[in-house]
A = this chain, B = another copy of it.
Amino acid sequence: MAGVEQTRLISVIGAGQAPPEVLAQAREVGRLLALAGWGVVTGGLGGVMEAVLEGAATAGGLTMGILPGGDPRVANPWCRVVIPSGMGQARNVLVVQTGSAAIAISGGAGTLSEIGHALKLGRPVAGLGSWNLPGVFQAPDPESAVKHVLSRLPDDPGRS
């Protein structure tokens, strides 16, 4: 069938502010996902959301931010595609719905809500220094986190 290839996306969720070593991990997660041919969708703000998109964009991956507010100008500078949802916290649901799996890096209550939504949707979830919960693979490093979720994706011929 004629058409274009649908971009495959992984949701990366995490702290809006984080120390340098966490941001470095996020950058590496983004880079590895892009090198493996995946785009990255986040909440579009700062901290982990910005670092992971920097890593992904620099390695050539598609980067997306789904914002809580309605103004696209508050998105971090590494978002190539911005959805200014205007839906407040409900945007967390959209971030998780849009990816085929989720990787959580550090993060507080907002990240917790996203992990809950991801598990409810049956998405593979890996965590890097994030919430230690049943169903969340505790990854020792970025490479393990990426490897884990990519190896657990449902076989999906319709979304090649």
Contacts and interface: CB of A to CB of B under 8 A. Distances in A.
Interface in A126-156: 131, 133, 135, 156
Q: Chain A contact residues: over half helix, strand or loop, or mixed? A: mixed
Interface string A26-70: 000000000000010000000000000010010000111010001
Contacts of A87: 86-88, 90, 93-94
Number of identical protomers: 4
A111 interface: yes
Nearest to A135: B109
A85 interface: yes
Interface string A1-13: 1111111010000
A158 B115 CA distance: 32
A120 B79 CA distance: 24
A117 B135 contact: no
B70 A88 contact: yes
A76 B72 CA distance: 26
A84 interface: yes
A80 B63 CA distance: 13
A24 B57 CA distance: 35
Interface of A: 1-7, 9, 39, 54, 57, 62-64, 66, 70, 72-73, 75-90, 92-94, 97-98, 108-117, 119-121, 131, 133, 135, 156, 158-159
